[in-house]
Homo-oligomer: A and B are copies of this chain.
């Protein structure tokens, strides 16, 4: 994912000390006395990325006043669960496309990637069980189930061109928005914050997370690898029919629908996104998806009125808006 010109660190300057404490927790937790595990942890330390979910925990804690000394640990747990999902996502994305021709090296990496993801999940849960209140453990165990279920349902809807927008959003929400929602809600709730505020911030997180996923899906169709920071066109290769395509497909005639399906399924096709762009005009779908992301973000920002006015609320609004500023 692109992080244009380091904007986010500047934006998060007001909570830099909290982020630094979170990074210290992560450095401590993402280490091990086994050389085999340590090697891999060193390797994945470069996917740590923007740590936007950790920032959400910290910002919602600071902004709501539900701040406690354990907030950096809570933020670290959320970030570790995200890291575990990333490690397993890489297995999943690679597995569906390249599995049949996997070299021994690829297979070996998958094997270890599954185990490392499992270790990260367990490590995150272990850290959460050391917190004073069981709230974080309970909440994040449920959230992790939601994420997995969203991914399982997504797998079940591969090549489903008739998926409704609600169906798409339920899946994208479960797999991506639920961790943002948990980050915001826990930030405002832990250890004993106001429930109404936490619930509103949970919805803020959900909407921001869903907007983020929609933008991600748009970028996968329109971006270049340089801009996006990872290969694009994966969704089409994997049979994931995302919002822009669902929109175009819904209003296409039968022959165009067949051509769209062929772009996803024709055996041996090298550039599926290129073919997709040839056989239909994606622009109305991309516009609709961007419009939906805008709408979600507007709703989300409206919820921040539950918070007292101030610089941290302002930072939270800017961090939320950041998801739409990614290049597309």
Contacts and interface: CB of A to CB of B under 8 A. Distances in A.
A109 B141 CA distance: 24
Interface stretch (A121-129, A213-221, A276-284): A121-129
Interface in A72-107: 88, 91-92, 95-96, 99
A105 to B, nearest CB: 9
Interface in A171-192: none
Given A121-B118, A148-B118, A153-B36, A126 B111 contact: no
A141 B137 CA distance: 11
Contacts of A46: none
Chain A interface residue number, banded: 35 or more
Interface string A237-248: 000000000000
Given A37-B149, A126-B145, A141-B126, A96 B111 contact: yes
A64 interface: no
Contacts of A148: 115-116, 118-119, 122
A49 to B, nearest CB: 20
Interface in A145-171: 145, 148-149, 151-153, 155-156
Contacts of A114: 88, 91-92, 95, 114, 117
Nearest to A108: B155
A34 interface: yes
A151 B151 CA distance: 25
A121 to B, nearest CB: 6
B88 A152 contact: no
A139 to B, nearest CB: 9
A27 to B, nearest CB: 17
A118 B144 contact: yes
A265 to B, nearest CB: 11
Given A96-B109, A109-B96, A145-B123, A115 B151 contact: yes
A70 to B, nearest CB: 14
A205 to B, nearest CB: 19
Given A122-B145, A129-B141, 4 more contacts: A88-B115, A117-B118, A134-B134, A137-B137
Interface of A: 32, 34, 36-37, 40, 88, 91-92, 95-96, 99, 108-112, 114-119, 121-123, 125-126, 129-130, 134, 137-138, 141-142, 144-145, 148-149, 151-153, 155-156
